A and B are shown apart, each in its own frame.
Chain A
Amino acid sequence: MTPLRKILWIGLACLALHGAVRAEILPPGNRAIPLGVHALVGGKVVVKPGQVLESATVLIRDGLIEKVGPDVTAPADARIWDMKGLTIYAGFIDPYLTLGTNAPSRPATNRDSELRAGRFFGLPVAALDPGTPGPGAQLSTVTPEHRMAEGISPDAQALQSLRALGFTVGNVVPAGGIIRGTSVLIALSESNPNEAVIRPDVFQHVAFESMGRGEEPGSYPQSLMGVISAVRQSFFDARHYFLEHQSYEQAPQGRKRPPFNPASQALGPALRREMPVVFEPGSALMVDRAARVGRELGLNFYILASGQEWRRPDLAKGSGVPFIVPLNFPEISKMPEEDDWNAITLDQLRAWDWAPEDAAVLRAQNLEVALTTYELEDKSAFRRNLAYAIDRGLTENDALAALTTVPAKLCGVEKSLGTVEAGKMANLTVVSGKGYFDPEAKVMEVWIDGRFYRTETGETNAEAAAEEKPPEEKLGEQKPGEVKPPEAKTAEVKPPEAKAAEAKPARPNRAAAARELLKKRVAHAPLEGRGALTNPPALLLTNATIWTCGPAGRLEIASLLIEHGKIAEVGATVRHPAGALVEDATGKSITPGIIDPHSHSMILGDVNEGSLPSSAMVRIGDVVNSESANIYLQLAGGVTEAHLLHGSANPIGGQCCLIKLRDGAGPEDLKFEGAPPTIKFALGENVKQSNSRGGTRFPQTRMGVQAFYDNRFTAARQYLKAWDDFNKSARGGPVAPVPPARDLELEALGEILQGKRFIHCHSYRQDEILMFIRLMQSFSIQVAAMHHVLEGYKVADEMAAAGIGGSTFSDWWAYKFEVYDAIPYNGTLMHDRGVLVSFNSDSDDLARRLNFEAAKAVKYGGLSEIEALKFVTINPARQLRVEKRVGSLEPGKDGDIALWSKSPLDSTTVCLETWIEGKKYFDRSLDAARTAALEEERKALLAKARKALQAGGPNDRGGARARRQFFETALEHQDDFYNHDRDEGEFEP
């Protein structure tokens, strides 16, 4: 729009205030604006979901609905529109619209990536102006101050394609980044943007998007858990910002002014719950995380569905908030050969088959649902996909609500939009035939702000096309202010449906066939068949060799009783309570469940937040992957607990998470309740970036590693002191003291200083181990365990004296220079010198045979078998400070056990059963049937997919994006099995 025209429009808007009834008079040369009084007569009016008037009149005056009802008579000044045979709905609202103009308005930073994170979370090198240039957040992906209300200028064609789907209003959302800015609700009309805006700043938008577009690797945050931490910290920063400014405004004299930060400022309405936040979590599990973060921050929030909520409907339900649901479904590509078909995995097929059902799944959890065209490459696929969604259980009433009342409510405009009622904006969607939910029925027109918009209904309607205006009248070329002249009444007479069918007879049949095929879901729920296999009131295992890993040692021909999830008795003779499940374990061995003290399995997204030298604020607990196939695979190796660690890319890594492999439980329920918090640290080659290209970050030497720790713990001490001072400070003065800014990095480090969080430190060389021991001693920090610690045998006495455990590999060596002196005798040597030793896997695969790793301590150095098994049971439990609960078979402890075909240290032993808290989670005898059922499901899905392709229906609209989507690995599955997609060097031992 030229400036001149804009000025003109402002002038006209002023005029309009004075003469509401009269139409504005445009300067000559413009098409005159029609009058604003319309009576839509004789149509079927769907007032709101569930309330239908079979034949009624809608009276529109000056952009608003004046009256609605069967008995409304058209006043003399109204233009009459015959709506017989048409259905009139409240104009549809898309609450999550992208219009190609959504990029942040400010230029992205192109600064050295090392400096980009600025002072955020204690990066020692600080740029003067980190983040996007100018005042703002220190992260360029945090731009809450970005307003879509400024600079929105939709393209006429895009508007037309949305109106053709029946949409009259859309909430235009910002794209890109983590905290993205605010959306704007606009009328999808051909009018001046100032007029089109219905409501600015509708939502603040937060996306769990790791490695945002345009971002290079290296800038914080680059991992999913880093994103979540950045969201938390940004809101905490904002909260502090307001406290500080309020305090300053009360008494500015004699005080240093607080800094200006538009990003913090912009989060105010969200923090005060005046503006809802929409989370885009990106995966089914992150729905749960988004909801928890939203609650933690006290936000009023909604969730953009990932489309895969069917994986964990329980988690969606737990969020308890409305969902905005896109209807982008994956589509299958034709495969050239049989083996190519066969290479398609069950999960890919499930994702394809479940997709249309997602909206119904959410409704079944009693959640409110709004629909959006978001992520549809070709928006015209929306109605077809909606039909599939309805076929899969979304009721038409719910669908209508999802297009009208629900989005109106979410956007805070339920008083002016969403229903066909007097006083509301005259936004209407008019559909022929059987109504909107029949994909063959046509959206004939929409009304926006009381103005008529013809919707081009496509190629089929020859009659309508003939009556179309000449091409120069095409909407795309219309000038602002111009309105299409209303057609003569006859033109509004809609052709009978039969004509549409005649015009293209083949297609509906094909489409119908495809639709019929897709109606019935073949895929099972991923949760089916998971969870405890048996949960007897009591379990009695008899005649076994029992490796107690406790003071009782190894018992031959003994029995074990588990009751209420706890070990009740162990010994030669034990009670036999009534109702107990009894298993004869003659010749077999029972051990405590294996504990893997160093695992990177079951983690969603990247294992490292390696961008900063300290990422103490990131939490593995935010990204536990309860859907990982590794849970079952490791249960099959007798593992019951896994300590999930951040990677070793930086000296101070992230907070770790101890889980129990309760397959089927959600992420929170996997967590080992009450386990003392831990954190990952790392020394040596990885943190000084020895083996990666182009490392320039501090530290680059082992000298720098020490200096860095010294710096951070000193800072953490100061932080604790600041809080201490605040807590002790006198209240009741003229100005309330402002609490220190909450800093999640220093908070975690402070917990270490307070003895509440325990360090597990990746290390190799003896010099660095000693350095670390001494430095931590100088801060009075009790380190839990050095990990890998392959030269631990050289400083075992010092480790033992410091009470620090060693969690090592049985026999890894020579994969990098710092492990050239690694020897398989390390475990035994450390043990012999009094170090508490465990073995760990650091590998999805090796975790499945940690008992064999333990046996290597017998081979190398001659450790006794009983002590060797402790390396993977009670010793890791002690290192993790959960030895009162797990790690040995003693009365009162958790009933976590593994049953083996023979000695657990015999290299031909097989794990037969794995129990956690008295529930059986793995049974080898049931595995074959389990696998067969899954393979059968896969075959059935494959057959359905091929049939669907033959029918042609599902593959003709979604475009390349939908076909690509089919091959995308869900976040929940991406790092399982063969890690085709795992980035090289994502984590290194």
Chain B
Amino acid sequence: MKGNLNHNLTLCCWLAIAACASAPAPARAQTLLLKNATVHPVSGPALSPGDVLLENGKVRQIGHLNVPADRVVDLTGQHLYPGFLLLNTALGLSEIEEVRATLDAEEVGQFVPEVQSWVAVNPDSELLPVARANGIAFFEPAPEGSMIAGQSALMAMDGWTTEEMVFKKPAALHVYWPSMEISIAGRRGGRRGRAAGSAEEQIKERERRIKELADFFADARAYAQARDAAQTNGAADPGLNPPWEAMRPYLKGERPIMVHAEELRQIKSALQWAETNHYKIVIAGGRDAWKVAELLAKKNVPVIYDDIYSLPLSEAESYDIHFKAPELLRQAGVKVALSLQTTVFDAPFARNLPYVASQAVAYGLPAEEALKAMTLYPAQILGVEDRLGAIEPGKDATLFACTGDILDLRANVTHFWMAGREVSLDNRHTRLYEKYRNRPKPH
């Protein structure tokens, strides 16, 4: 009986710990000094050993510091990085790909700019603490779809509610560029080739789709103009219309338009469209972006590159083309953020963001640029670089410590501070690990 009681108590304690494990961080200490780490400010050269002083959720000082603090953490041998920003992900909007009830990433309709991803993020998704445990501090849940799929926000990996998690909303409008490919038959010998019509028909169809997209933006502009006129010179007010209203920040370039485009013709077509209309766009995906690196640089369009783990397009492309692509873009002067694919399948793999980056490093991208591609550059792309993306005095104290180089597969994250508060690294995986590694041998 006693044993049983003990067992129950242990279980209760364990459950309590489990419940707390991924709970939002408790209130922060006033000042916290992180000592003797290799500090990667990202915005500047690494400092080793270096110290970082956090105060009221902000980084106050960085250097060799001998200052009093409410709490001091010795990080000898460890590395400090700013928390990563993962853009264009289904994280938060999906739990299990094959269980439809857990999916909130894709809405019906081709023109639904009023759809807002941040209201559908599950703060208790088991996927979030798993991603956080490898350095992801912020994520941008992106609606999927075709044409205009909706708007995203930048969310913190910390908070009791979606409202507490939202860092910036809206962050971007998501446009999925129509396919530009021409293919009029599938497999040789097979009977399953899709009947997509003749080449001529497909060419007409793609023109139609692009016009359709452009027309929607033109209509949105007309609406914005009418509403502006109603406010400024008393013209008749057309009245509030949610889809058109949702488009307004993007027409003026106040917020970026994420154009999801992989294929060369899509990217070129989107660039031309953006230039003609003076839209501020970001290419998301960008598989073939390296083919137009100069053009992207000239037009100052950043790329969120998510195709490192992709096969070449044909035998006439080198096997490592997508490993090299970020470096090819960087050398041309394009700002590149790295990400995994937006798909629901990739959401649970968010923790592998640093390894996507290390693959690019192996094939040429300088390591410091790889780090920027997960911190500073995504912050700049979403216009939050004043607070996020680097360890700098005045910026948010969102950073993590790691047993080694975060790009190294063998290293592990040991501490994570979100705006100065230490958050737990426990997650579904560590809990199951602890449970089953302690399974007694069966008789």
Once the chains are docked, how many angstroms separate the CA of A861 from the CA of B439? Answer: 15
Please tell me which stretch of B36-44, B53-61, B153-161, B187-195 contacts chain A, meaning at least 4 of its Cβ atoms lie within 8 angstroms of it: B187-195
Any B CB within 8 A of the CB of A823 = yes
- Cβ–Cβ contact A794 & B318, under 8 A: no
Any A CB within 8 A of the CB of B311 = yes
Please tell me which stretch of B6-14, B251-259, B375-383, B405-413 contacts chain A, meaning at least 4 of its Cβ atoms lie within 8 angstroms of it: B405-413
* Given A339-B264, A934-B316, A974-B188, A333:B199 Cβ within 8 A: yes
Q: Specify which chain B residues have a CB less than 8 angstroms from the CB of A908 in the assembled complex.
A: 358, 361-362, 367, 407
Q: B436's contact among A794, A811, A907, A967, by CB below 8 Å, is which?
A: A794
Q: Specify which chain B residues have a CB less than 8 angstroms from the CB of A969 in the assembled complex.
A: 186-188
Q: A968's contact among B98, B188, B349, by CB below 8 Å, is which?
A: B188
Please tell me which stretch of B111-119, B177-185, B211-219, B225-233 contacts chain A, meaning at least 4 of its Cβ atoms lie within 8 angstroms of it: B177-185
Any A CB within 8 A of the CB of B99 = yes
Q: Specify which chain B residues have a CB less than 8 angstroms from the CB of A977 in the assembled complex.
A: 311-314
Question: For chains A and B in complex, what number of residue pairs have CB atoms within 8 angstroms?
Answer: 208
Q: Specify which chain B residues have a CB less than 8 angstroms from the CB of A385 in the assembled complex.
A: none
- Cβ–Cβ contact B410 & A858, under 8 A: yes
- Cβ–Cβ contact B409 & A855, under 8 A: yes
Q: B98's contact among A210, A630, A817, A844, by CB below 8 Å, is which?
A: A817
Q: Which A-chain residue is minimally distant from B346 (CB atoms)? A: A815
- Cβ–Cβ contact B316 & A938, under 8 A: yes
Q: A306's contact among B189, B347, B362, B441, by CB below 8 Å, is which?
A: B189
* Given A343-B182, A814-B95, A823-B433, A927:B189 Cβ within 8 A: no
Q: Specify which chain B residues have a CB less than 8 angstroms from the CB of A815 in the assembled complex.
A: 96-98, 345, 348
- Cβ–Cβ contact B349 & A811, under 8 A: yes
- Cβ–Cβ contact B439 & A855, under 8 A: no
Q: A346's contact among B95, B181, B193, B314, by CB below 8 Å, is which?
A: B314
Min C-beta distance of A686 to chain B, whole Å: 10
- Cβ–Cβ contact B98 & A691, under 8 A: yes
Q: Specify which chain A residues have a CB less than 8 angstroms from the CB of B411 in the assembled complex.
A: 859
- Cβ–Cβ contact A974 & B187, under 8 A: yes
Q: Which B-chain residue is minimally distant from A972 (CB atoms)? A: B188
Q: Specify which chain A residues have a CB less than 8 angstroms from the CB of B264 in the assembled complex.
A: 339, 342-343
Min C-beta distance of B348 to chain A, whole Å: 4
Q: Which A-chain residue is minimally distant from B407 (CB atoms)? A: A907
Once the chains are docked, how many angstroms separate the CA of A22 from the CA of B437? Answer: 101
Min C-beta distance of A605 to chain B, whole Å: 8
Q: A797's contact among B95, B199, B310, B441, by CB below 8 Å, is which?
A: B441
Chain B interface, number of residues (Cβ within 8 angstroms): 69
Q: Specify which chain B residues have a CB less than 8 angstroms from the CB of A814 in the assembled complex.
A: 95-97, 126-127, 347-348
Binary per-residue interface labels of chain A (655-666) against chain B in the complex, 1 for a CB within 8 Å, 0 otherwise: 000000000000
Any B CB within 8 A of the CB of A793 = yes
Q: Specify which chain B residues have a CB less than 8 angstroms from the CB of A927 in the assembled complex.
A: 318-320
Any B CB within 8 A of the CB of A192 = no
Q: Specify which chain A residues have a CB less than 8 angstroms from the CB of B184 in the assembled complex.
A: 333, 963-964, 967
Any B CB within 8 A of the CB of A910 = yes
Q: Specify which chain B residues have a CB less than 8 angstroms from the CB of A798 in the assembled complex.
A: 442
- The SS class assigned to the A binding surface is loop
Once the chains are docked, how many angstroms separate the CA of A968 from the CA of B181? Answer: 14
Binary per-residue interface labels of chain B (361-381) against chain A in the complex, 1 for a CB within 8 Å, 0 otherwise: 111000100000000000000
Any A CB within 8 A of the CB of B359 = yes
Query: Which among B188, B320, B408 has the highest number of chain A CB atoms within 10 Å?
Result: B188
Q: Specify which chain B residues have a CB less than 8 angstroms from the CB of A967 in the assembled complex.
A: 183-185
Q: Specify which chain B residues have a CB less than 8 angstroms from the CB of A636 in the assembled complex.
A: 319-320
Binary per-residue interface labels of chain A (901-919) against chain B in the complex, 1 for a CB within 8 Å, 0 otherwise: 0000111111000000000
* Given A340-B265, A964-B184, A971-B188, A910:B319 Cβ within 8 A: no
Q: Specify which chain A residues have a CB less than 8 angstroms from the CB of B188 in the assembled complex.
A: 282-283, 965, 968-971, 974
Once the chains are docked, how many angstroms separate the CA of A480 from the CA of B199? Answer: 44
Q: Specify which chain B residues have a CB less than 8 angstroms from the CB of A935 in the assembled complex.
A: 316-317
Q: B318's contact among A213, A844, A931, by CB below 8 Å, is which?
A: A931
Q: Which B-chain residue is minimally distant from A974 (CB atoms)? A: B187
Once the chains are docked, how many angstroms separate the CA of A935 from the CA of B205? Answer: 30
Min C-beta distance of B240 to chain A, whole Å: 40
- Cβ–Cβ contact B410 & A855, under 8 A: yes
Query: Which among B315, B345, B359 has the highest number of chain A CB atoms within 10 Å?
Result: B315
Q: Which B-chain residue is minimally distant from A832 (CB atoms)? A: B437
- Cβ–Cβ contact A910 & B362, under 8 A: yes
- Cβ–Cβ contact B191 & A213, under 8 A: yes
Any A CB within 8 A of the CB of B432 = yes
Please tell me which stretch of A116-124, A430-438, A443-451, A978-986 contacts chain B, meaning at least 4 of its Cβ atoms lie within 8 angstroms of it: A978-986
Any B CB within 8 A of the CB of A825 = yes
- Cβ–Cβ contact A928 & B318, under 8 A: yes
- Cβ–Cβ contact B185 & A816, under 8 A: no
Once the chains are docked, how many angstroms separate the CA of A797 from the CA of B436? Answer: 11
- Cβ–Cβ contact A968 & B186, under 8 A: yes
Any A CB within 8 A of the CB of B244 = no
- Cβ–Cβ contact B265 & A845, under 8 A: no
Once the chains are docked, how many angstroms separate the CA of A811 from the CA of B264? Answer: 32
In chain B, residues 126-167, which have Cβ atoms closer than 8 Å to a Cβ of chain A?
Answer: 126-127
Any A CB within 8 A of the CB of B15 = no
Q: Which B-chain residue is minimally distant from A924 (CB atoms)? A: B320
Once the chains are docked, how many angstroms separate the CA of A814 from the CA of B351? Answer: 13
Once the chains are docked, how many angstroms separate the CA of A706 from the CA of B319? Answer: 44
Q: Which B-chain residue is minimally distant from A332 (CB atoms)? A: B199
Q: Which B-chain residue is minimally distant from A908 (CB atoms)? A: B362
Query: Which among A337, A928, A968 has the highest number of chain B CB atoms within 10 Å?
Result: A968
- Cβ–Cβ contact A845 & B345, under 8 A: no
Once the chains are docked, how many angstroms separate the CA of A963 from the CA of B191? Answer: 16
Any A CB within 8 A of the CB of B19 = no
* Given A816-B98, A845-B310, A968-B186, A859:B318 Cβ within 8 A: no
In chain A, residues 846-862, which have Cβ atoms closer than 8 Å to a Cβ of chain B?
Answer: 846, 848-849, 852, 855-856, 858-861
Q: B442's contact among A797, A817, A829, by CB below 8 Å, is which?
A: A797
Q: A844's contact among B203, B311, B432, B433, by CB below 8 Å, is which?
A: B311
Once the chains are docked, how many angstroms separate the CA of A971 from the CA of B190? Answer: 8
Once the chains are docked, how many angstroms separate the CA of A406 from the CA of B177? Answer: 55
- Cβ–Cβ contact B316 & A340, under 8 A: no
Any B CB within 8 A of the CB of A167 = no
Any B CB within 8 A of the CB of A960 = yes
Q: Which A-chain residue is minimally distant from B196 (CB atoms)? A: A967
Query: Which among B96, B183, B367, B409 has the highest number of chain A CB atoms within 10 Å?
Result: B409
Q: Which A-chain residue is minimally distant from B403 (CB atoms)? A: A859
Q: Specify which chain A residues have a CB less than 8 angstroms from the CB of B279 in the assembled complex.
A: none
Once the chains are docked, how many angstroms separate the CA of A814 from the CA of B192? Answer: 31
Q: Specify which chain B residues have a CB less than 8 angstroms from the CB of A892 in the assembled complex.
A: none
- Cβ–Cβ contact A829 & B198, under 8 A: no
Min C-beta distance of A898 to chain B, whole Å: 14
A-B contact list, 30 entries, CB within 8 Å: A213-B191, A283-B188, A306-B189, A333-B184, A333-B199, A345-B316, A630-B311, A633-B319, A812-B349, A813-B348, A814-B348, A816-B98, A817-B96, A823-B432, A825-B437, A845-B310, A859-B409, A860-B429, A906-B409, A907-B362, A909-B362, A910-B363, A935-B316, A964-B193, A968-B186, A971-B187, A971-B189, A974-B188, A978-B310, A981-B192
Closest 9 CB pairs of A and B: A816-B98, A282-B189, A907-B358, A855-B409, A814-B348, A968-B188, A931-B318, A908-B362, A823-B429
Residues of A within 8 A of B (CB): 209-213, 282-283, 306, 333-337, 339-340, 342-343, 345-347, 629-630, 632-633, 636, 685, 690-691, 793-794, 797-798, 811-817, 820-821, 823-825, 829, 832, 844-846, 848-849, 852, 855-856, 858-861, 865, 905-910, 927-928, 931, 934-935, 937-938, 960, 963-965, 967-971, 974, 976-978, 980-981, 983
Residues of B within 8 A of A (CB): 95-99, 126-127, 180-194, 198-199, 203, 263-265, 268, 309-320, 345, 347-349, 351-352, 355, 358-359, 361-363, 367, 407-412, 428-429, 432-433, 436-437, 439, 441-442
Other 15 A-B pairs with CB < 8 A, given A794-B436, A815-B348, A908-B362 = A212-B191, A333-B199, A339-B180, A633-B311, A793-B436, A814-B127, A814-B348, A845-B311, A858-B409, A859-B409, A908-B361, A968-B188, A969-B188, A974-B187, A977-B312
